[in-house]
Structure 1
Amino acid sequence: MAVEKIKIEPNSIPVPLDKLLADPRNVRHGFPDSGIAHLADDLAMNGLLQNLVVRHETSDNGEPTGRYFVTAGRRRHSALKHLVKNKRLAKNAAIPCRVTTEEDAGTISLIENISRVAMHPADQFQAFAALSDEGKSIEQIALRFGITTATVERRLRLGRLAPIILSAYRDGLLKEDEAKAFAVTVDQETQARAFDQFRWPSSWSQARSIRSMLTEGEIDNDDARAVYVGADAYEAAGGAMTRDLFSDHVSFGSAELLNRLALEKLEAFADSVRAEGWAKVLVRIEAPAPVELTDFERAFPSEQVGLSAEDAQREADLTARREALEVLDEMTDEQADEIETIDSDLERLAERAVRYAADDLASGLAIVSLNEHSGQPTVRRLKPRAVVQARPSLPGADQSTGNVQEPDKKGLTAALTASLLAHRTRALQAHVAQRPGLALRLLAQALLIERSRLYSTAPLGLRLRHPDTLPPDAAKETQDGAARRVLDEAHEQREDHQPGDEDGLLPWLLAMDDWQVVDLIAPLVAEGIDAGASDWTEEPDCLAAQVARAAEYDPRPYWTADAETYFGRVNKEQIAQAVTEAGGSISTAGKKGDLVIEATRKVADTGWLPALLRPPAPTSQD
């Protein structure tokens, strides 16, 4: 585009461009060249909106030479020469200039560079929005200013922020990244409501909290359901998505729609599992908790049958691709995701190469669910759990080892007592992890006790090393339980966002709202809880019992009486006593193995608990 004729204002004189020289007395001795091309485009479209300020070049005897030094307007001068170089402007084009004296040249140059005040970004954003409102397209605006369409989209989004937010940004009450966080939604009313709840000013950025507040209830794109369904399928089904123009954050607006689409896709996947012949195929987004599957155990293949030629070739191709990815020095997120997908595909191919026993299929259960990390379908194949046949032994013997152990005052072996106490502690930890307010108070209690030394022990022990309060053997026994999973999931949510180095922890915490920090503390405090070894029915006022009552402790979601957890580890009389306490009756005649099976059936769904697992009774202080 050739430049339009440049207007000569009444208070200026025309000077041929080739008679203009850089002024050695200009106080600015350098400037970046990166914006000259854009400025040249602007001059070509709009002309020179501000005169150059020049002074005469004089000869040795003080006479004007007919050429001029550019005292103010050096970047505009360079942009004009850029137009000449690109044959968009004549080299002798008349340029409007205002002449100053040699004595004033340095002062004018200094004033121009010192007194200049840059436009506030908020004004720039609103100016872009005004251009759009006038009917100019994003492409036209981008071409007009020599910038990308993505940059225009971002500036338009910021220019259309709620007025109260733009005003706060202009007044310095909001940082730029915080203003950008409000732009995660285009609804100005929603933005304004969130701003009313925003706690400002702060020395640390609160952008993450703002973005979380505005997308509360939406599903992040790294959620297993989102990964499995995919953005394209979700939007094709009419789902709304929130895309943050200023970060990689993407969220799915409807959990209900995402759940439906994920289940529909899982149901289709489950058809191949049904074809294996399982008695029942259960399809869920999340796998059932272990406590729901106490009657089942893993089913193992009974024979290898090999892969078809097509599947064998597919397996070879996937393996080769995986090996090629593994040797890379650096791997992108997309390549890491590809490896997870390949592993899932290889696992499914491996399942086609085996066959399960007919008895296992006839009575078994296959569970199709989503892997919470990879977002790929996974299958658990189960068969009814075999009843543990207890070996004859002396009273008080540990059934797992046959070693005689002294029973405690409840008549239980030391191993079973340790197991029950471990499950009690883990269940109590799970309850506290889900009660941030209680966790905060337990932290305060522990600190006060430590400060005053009123007692020798406290339910919460503050530790700088591994926080598990259980002995290794007991911890191992509970590691796959539902209570342990509650703690692990809480920690995983924290670790997804936690800085990788200790130096970044305090800034990260300071950027949070108080309620977010309390939520963060809950699982950390919970994992330090020790339910102790006291009998809460005899010591209802002990500190651990107080915590249990405050947490509304109930171990039944995390522990069920069966052959493995209880009945296979006690004698016949204790089995009969448990059934009686559960409201039933049972004969102790016959084999213990049969008694264990009948007792497990009779106490099922009764909520019966051994004394060591029962919640403490209320006291007068409650």
Structure 2
Amino acid sequence: MTKQTKITATEARIPLDRLTLSTLNPRQDVPQADVIELAESIWTAGLIQNLSGLADDEGGAEIVAGGRRLRALKYLAEQHPDMAETHPELASPMVNLAPDRTTGEAWATTENIARRALHPAEEIRAYGKMEQGGSTPAIIARAFAVTEKHVYRRLALAHLPAPVLDALRADEISLSNAAAFTISDDQKRSLEILEQVRGESQSDYNIKRMLKPDAVRGTDRRAIFVGEDAYMAAGGRIGGDLFADESLFDDPEILDAVFQEKLDAVAKLLRGKGWKWAEAITESYIGYHTIEDRKFERIYAEQGDLTEAETERYDELAELAEGDVLDEDGEAELAALQEKLDGMFSAEQMAVSGVMVYVDRDGRLQGSDGLVAREDKAAAIEAGFLRKPTRIEDDEPKSPISQKLADDLGRIAQGAKQHAILRDPDLLLDLLAFQLSHALNWKNPLGLSLTDVPNWPSTEAEGYALDEKLTANPPRDMWEIKDLAASFRAFRKKGADHVRGELTRFLAAQYRGGDEKLAALVEKETQPSIREVWTPTAENFFKRVGGPYLNDLWSDLLGLASGHATITAFEKLKKSEKAEKLESLFADPATRSALGLTEEQQDRIAAWLPEGMA
């Protein structure tokens, strides 16, 4: 273990004319344009980071860390001769004074990498002040050495009510919680909700629902179908979730009214095309019970036939669609072939039947056509579109096949199919991979059901990264696919490697261990490592446990006894600061280097896991 030495430094305000740049300072050459930009930032937002230096014998100091800030302050003094009266804190900045030259040298080389990060609330306010002072996001980004995208995201929070930022600074709400408040332009409501969520660890989703309990997300099927333009033309208001890149429809009554109007317009258009009737349904699907309850009969369009060339082209396009690489022209061509394959209703059929239209869960217009109402059945029968019902007389002989025997015969027929497919194991594996990678619902070819095996934490998963095979490309929704055989042919054409890859990743997502001895055998073979995919951070762990636990953890990881200066200093920190310090210890090699950790200590940190997680 390396020897730990307590460093004592003092602070003092020293006039600018007594401050000079030390030869130890690494920033000996700084472009004047950078100095001017930083000066504008300091003039607007203040000096957020102290200078650091070595005291000289004349009441001044040589600055070893903060050379660019020193130049910016001296530039401001030249531009503002009355700065001592208007901004005395800048005319005599605070300087951290090193106790000896060795410490000063260490500060000079480590200050840039060990600089304390601004608390998000401080950062938001500093950016906001600069913006009010006329600085562009590009200038702010250069002044703070961050990306413009980062600046834009922080500026989006700069206009939040001051109490929300105060709560963020006090760590009573998280940064993502604060971002949730950006959806509201009702300050009174925002402050009411703020009082309810302080220190309660509420999810961002719950806060948004509390702020706007009636708002409809832009991903809602009604919003997708109606569109923002039509909704706003009717007087609807749009709110925004800037951080989820999502619109909120704030007037659900207007949305519902426009939704109904647009559906009714579609129904009117269909009646004009020859259907006897057309009805708009507000539900997201038409269930079998709807057909049964209303005593509808159904007639079908005569199925069309594709030529051999068209069939080959259909399979080719279906394969491209399966891989989500079909362009717009290809989609139109496939739709035309599908329409020909599905057939068309004749004018005579449409004259005795109708259609029900609805919007599915993805916001797409759908229809159920060829429905014959009770009052039109006689005409449909007379036209030959429906069979005349035959009544079974009570004295008609019963079938010699009992229901139990019929069930047994059905099982025998199913067994024959299983007996035959047993001869083609590749086909079975292809079917399994197809079923796992496609949401076939009740149309599954195999009698297997999946169990949810959760592998994602309830937080935003900061510090957690699984192989994308387990997190990307969920099962493709096949709800609206009419020809599963064509889809399966396209799937198999991708080759054995693709099929095996799909089979592997979806079976891996189903793995949950099972019997203790069996799980131990599998782990011996696969050698799983939790720390390979997870690193503890402030958000995913340290802020979610108590302060005493963090104190003990800091002591254990560094191998220092209670009462050691490093441990005592850590114990005096706020809980949020302890969490950030521990996150830095685990994630930042520079932090571990600055602490002078031994190889043994670094190995302990690299292997550490919370109790019960191993």
- Shorter-chain TM range is 0.3 to 0.5
Which has the larger helix fraction? 2
Larger radius of gyration: 1
What is the TM-score when the length of structure 2 is the normalising length? 0.45
